[in-house]
């Protein structure tokens, strides 16, 4: 029920739909809440194989704003309330499955989000094969999971590094890499209570399907194999095409259109533009915006910056350059900087040859979209598993990222940001190395997704075939 989850799920549904075409009796049902389904229904082309079904959900019954079927306009502190509210879907979900079973159409498999552990319990009860689908990296999710199941972490002194629970060797993290929700969790707060029941229900699932690539994300995958003893399939990246992507997000008739963004990029030299975006939910503080703007201006580089209202402002607030940005910033950077309000056509931007680097919060979808295009990263992780994604990306496995800042509240200095932009994009040895590693990651992704003939099928294609095979053999056994 957040764009970073709906987008990979829709990508997976469409990918499976095309893969399963040779099985004409199979259909895919995409379940979500009414507002999200209505949006998809009005924009996705009708398909006999992909059914869109809504489960009843009324945000105001749970003390949420009326349009909180997703997190698009939800202040971050209310996200946990939406998560608790989502457990109310359990009854209608079970009824839907029971109806299918009674009609002789028992589902082959249910694939559900990492936040809907209760679906695994319902499926186990009804004897239906179930997989958790993670749009997060294997490593990121392993760290995140391990921290939640080993609470509390409050007493950690903030100046030292400590080992992640369950990862005793070679994985020290700094306290500033702990998401605030985890750092503050004491086992009785709303996040702790939600995760305690959510994560324990994963044990009822048959396995975890990851939108990642085994070749550069193996540690986290092994963690789940060992820790939960379940099957793990790395079948990514499945990415949503630009056309389908427009169906998931609200259009903004007043803002910069996708066509304007691309036309702007068309005029720029290859690999010259820095793209800046912190995903669909995160924002930075006003002082951070000032530092970032100063760094972008002094870097002398071309940039596209997707601007969202800073922390503390209404998430729906009108763009206010006078308050959020240094005086005269827009005028001084006119022509070489494009400010896009709130939402940009990110997949198209990252696929454009003019983009040379991406300053990102390290959300895993953003990372996959960048690496699929060989775009190196400047990391500014802010929440959830993003800190661990940044570490995976900086480390030997990927090596295509330079962390520039950490968290929503830490100190950020324009001069340091400018230097790091120059290190990655300029003619430095380190920058050349990271750019090369980003191209290698693109090659690894292309190899993993190769699906031409049986002898050269890539690891991700094989994993998805194995996953489908596991679901089918389970059905055959239960007949």
Residues that bind ligand UDP (CB under 6 A): 2-4, 7, 277, 279-282, 306, 343-344, 346-347, 363-366, 369
Of 11 and 128, nearer to ligand UDP (C-beta) is 11
- Least separation in angstroms between CB 140 and ligand UDP: 10
- Least separation in angstroms between CB 148 and ligand UDP: 18
- Least separation in angstroms between CB 321 and ligand UDP: 18
Q: Which residue is closest to ligand UDP by CB? A: 4
Of 282 and 294, nearer to ligand UDP (C-beta) is 282
**Pair 6, 36: CB distance under 8 Å:** yes
Of 1 and 109, nearer to ligand UDP (C-beta) is 1
- Least separation in angstroms between CB 11 and ligand UDP: 9
Of 30 and 129, nearer to ligand UDP (C-beta) is 30
- Least separation in angstroms between CB 164 and ligand UDP: 21
- Least separation in angstroms between CB 5 and ligand UDP: 7
- Least separation in angstroms between CB 388 and ligand UDP: 13
3-state secondary structure 68-117: CCCCCCCCHHHHHHHHHHHHHHHHHHHHHHHHHHHCCCCCCCEEEECCCC
Of 363 and 376, nearer to ligand UDP (C-beta) is 363
Of 121 and 198, nearer to ligand UDP (C-beta) is 198
- Least separation in angstroms between CB 476 and ligand UDP: 36
Of 121 and 277, nearer to ligand UDP (C-beta) is 277
Of 338 and 468, nearer to ligand UDP (C-beta) is 338
């Amino acid at each position: 029920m957040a764009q970073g989850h709906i987008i990979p799920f829709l990508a997976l549904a469409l990918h499976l739909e095309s893969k399963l075409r040779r099985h004409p009796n199979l259909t895919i049902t995409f379940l979500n809440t009414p507002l999200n389904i209505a949006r998809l229904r009005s924009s996705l082309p009708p398909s006999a194989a992909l059914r869109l079904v809504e489960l009843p959900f009324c945000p105001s019954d749970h003390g949420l704003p009326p349009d909180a079927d997703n997190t698009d306009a939800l202040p971050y502190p209310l996200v946990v309330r939406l998560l608790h509210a989502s457990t109310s879907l359990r009854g209608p979900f079970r009824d839907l499955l029971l109806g299918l079973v009674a009609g002789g159409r028992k589902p082959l498999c249910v694939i559900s989000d990492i936040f809907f552990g209760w679906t695994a319990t319902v499926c186990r009860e009804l004897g239906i094969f179930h997989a958790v689908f993670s749009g997060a990296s294997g490593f990121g999710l392993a760290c995140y999971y391990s921290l939640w199941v080993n609470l509390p972490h409050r007493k950690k002194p903030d100046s030292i590094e400590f080992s992640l629970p369950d990862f005793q060797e070679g994985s020290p993290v700094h306290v500033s890499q702990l998401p605030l929700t985890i750092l503050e969790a004491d086992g009785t707060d709303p996040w702790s209570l939600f995760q305690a029941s959510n994560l324990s229900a994963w044990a009822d699932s048959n396995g975890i399907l990851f939108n990642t690539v085994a070749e550069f994300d193996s540690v986290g995958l092994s963690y789940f194999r060992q820790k939960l003893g379940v099957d793990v399939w790395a079948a990514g990246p499945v990415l949503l095409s630009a056309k389908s992507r427009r169906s998931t997000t609200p259009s903004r008739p007043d803002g910069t259109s996708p066509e304007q963004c691309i036309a702007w990029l068309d005029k720029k030299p290859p690999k010259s533009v820095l793209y800046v975006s912190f995903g669909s939910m995160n924002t930075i503080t006003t002082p951070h915006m000032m530092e970032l703007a100063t760094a972008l201006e002094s870097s002398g580089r071309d940039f596209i910056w997707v601007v969202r209202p800073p922390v503390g402002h209404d998430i729906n607030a009108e763009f206010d350059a006078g308050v959020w940005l240094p005086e005269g910033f827009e005028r001084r950077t006119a022509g070489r900087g494009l400010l896009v309000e709130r939402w940009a056509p990110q997949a198209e931007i990252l696929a454009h040859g003019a983009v040379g680097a991406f300053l990102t919060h390290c959300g895993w979808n953003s990372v996959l979209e960048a690496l699929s295009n060989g775009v190196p990263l400047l990391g500014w992780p802010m929440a959830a598993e993003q800190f661990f994604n940044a570490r995976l990306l900086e480390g030997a496995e990927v090596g295509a990222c330079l962390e520039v800042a950490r968290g929503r509240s830490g100190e950020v200095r324009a001069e340091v940001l400018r230097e790091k932009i120059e290190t990655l994009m300029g003619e430095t040895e380190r920058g050349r190395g990271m750019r090369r590693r980003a191209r290698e990651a693109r090659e690894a992704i292309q190899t993993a997704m190769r699906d031409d003939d049986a002898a050269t099928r890539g690891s991700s294609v094989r994993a998805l075939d194995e996953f489908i095979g596991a679901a089918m053999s389970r059905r055959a056994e239960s007949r």
